[in-house]
Structure 1
Amino acid sequence: MSSQPFTVADVMTKKVVAVRPGAEFKEIVTAMERWNVTAVPVVEGEGRVVGVVSEADLLLKEEFHDHRLGLVEQMRRLGATAKAGSRRAEDLMTSPAVTVAPEASLPRAARLMASHHVKRLPVVGTSGTIQGIVSRSDLLKVFLRPDADLAADVRRDVVERVFPLSQRRVDVRVDAGVVTLSGQVHDSALIPLAARLARAVEGVVDVRCELTAGGGT
């Protein structure tokens, strides 16, 4: 069976620590401390995500605790000063929340995190109901795949497909996630394609391509 690309659903944490819109400041801080997380989704109803409260949102209260702003700075940081004076999740949260679908690819989730400068994303279904949380560390789980599994995927999904006539002359070795392809193949034009496809296998760290073109069967 051909391996399928990993999705967010494959690596997300299904046990979600969330708070209601009416959750008090101290309750939110306690939840983050207890579960060792840096942000919590805010949910209402049957679990529909309406926002996210992060450490950055909460730290505004400390930042402005004894800092008196001038009029210009107050106008420039209206949102921040409003959060600094708030005590409930519904006023502290960032809304709308940046979310990702469970069927989204891992690169898609990584790009969302990077573009929005967040460390984790609520995973929501079509109805907006939370299904899990995916963090930066979750996205790295694919790099923990055993070398033997990676070698099997590369042989099945790359070597056997790209080089059906000379596959038995191709050696696939994987060490610490680094794939080495060696041996002789019939068509030298296909060598770059094989290297590119091997690099795309989930969990592969790098590819060393030592394939050469030669005759024979």
Structure 2
Amino acid sequence: MHGTPHIVSDVMTRTVVALSRQATFKDIVKTMQHWKVSAMPVLEGDNRVIGVVSEADLLPKEEFRDGDPDRYTQLRRPADLVKAGAVTAEELMTAPALTVPAYASLGQAARIMALHKVKRLPVVDDDGDLQGIVSRSDLLKVFLRDDEDIAEEVGRDVVALLFPAPLEPISVKVHNGVVKLTGRIADTTLVPITTRLVRAVEGVVDVDCALMGPHRRPDLDPDLTDNGTNAPPSGVGGGA
């Protein structure tokens, strides 16, 4: 639906290369090279994700190939030493798998990736079954949105709702994803929330909110009355 925020299932890759528990070390390397991927989910049963094998899980075998680790390494990196001796996906995988639901927002997926420092996530349904995979580049697709499309949504879903009767027409211009708003409104306390709502529109890179309040009425000369006639100075005037 137009204007509806995208979710992970909208941008994910649905064709996924996956591994069984029994996949061998060499087969894993071959598969990664063939499909040009750096990580693959490990599946059990019909399609349930139980772990992920990444290049980082494979590297300890090369790192410790030439000799025994020192005592410091043995104490600080026991998990890597175990993986150095692993020969199957079940032994190599990081488990439980870090996944994201298909209905999650793109922002939620981005936060999970940033928090755990991963480049991609298996996408699962409510039963934990694999539905696809989402990468950092998939999450950035919203920034390919046309400026005209962004301007239309901002005008319709933000400006028209917050300012149905502006003091002056509000202009919405978008260039390379940067939204600029100009015009006059009655209540300038709405400017911060306007900026937040516009920034939340998919594809928006930045917001320049230059909305202004009503024109100020010029101060009257204290020596003039409202109708512009001279007023006598205080304490001075005619009279008997």
TM-score, normalised to structure 2, is 0.85
- Displacement of 1:211 in angstroms is 1.1
Q: Which has the higher helix share?
A: 1
Cα distance in 2 between the residues matched to 1:142 and 1:126: 25
The answer as to 2:125 corresponding to 1:129 is no
Instruction: Supply the AA of the counterpart residue of 1:67.
Output: G
The answer as to 2:72 corresponding to 1:65 is no
Aligned-CA RMSD value: 1.6
Aligned to 1:191: 191
Cα distance in 2 between the residues matched to 1:154 and 1:195: 11
Instruction: Supply the AA of the counterpart residue of 1:68.
Output: D
Change (3 A) 1:2 1:191: farther
- Displacement of 1:191 in angstroms is 1.8
1:179-204 CA-to-partner distances (Å, cap 9, x unmatched) read 01111222211122111110111110
Aligned to 2:13: 13
Name structure 2 gaps, 5 residues minimum: 216-240
Q: How does 1:194-213 map to 2 (within 5 A)?
A: 194-213=194-213
How many pairs are equivalent?
A: 215
Q: How does 1:16-95 map to 2 (within 5 A)?
A: 16-95=16-95
CA contact (8 A) 2:25 2:87 kept: yes
SS in 1 for 2:159: helix
- Displacement of 1:212 in angstroms is 1.0
Cα distance in 2 between the residues matched to 1:189 and 1:78: 57
The answer as to 2:111 corresponding to 1:111 is yes
Q: How does 1:138-177 map to 2 (within 5 A)?
A: 138-166=138-166, 169-177=169-177
- Displacement of 1:37 in angstroms is 1.2
Which structure exhibits the higher relative contact order, with contacts defined as CA atoms closer than 8 Å and separated by 6 or more residues? Answer: 1
Range with greater deviation from structure 2 (88-97 or 189-198)? 189-198
Change (3 A) 1:182 1:91: same
After TM superposition, the runs of 4+ consecutive aligned structure 1 residues lying more than 4 A away are: none
Aligned to 2:181: 181
Cα distance in 2 between the residues matched to 1:168 and 1:19: 61
CA contact (8 A) 2:8 2:109 kept: yes
CA contact (8 A) 1:159 1:167 kept: no
Cα distance in 2 between the residues matched to 1:114 and 1:190: 32
1:89-129 CA-to-partner distances (Å, cap 9, x unmatched) read 00000000100001111121111111112111100001110
- Displacement of 1:32 in angstroms is 1.2
Cα distance in 2 between the residues matched to 1:23 and 1:97: 17
CA contact (8 A) 2:168 2:183 kept: no
Cα distance in 2 between the residues matched to 1:126 and 1:42: 17
| % identical aligned pairs | 55
Range with greater deviation from structure 2 (83-92 or 164-173)? 164-173
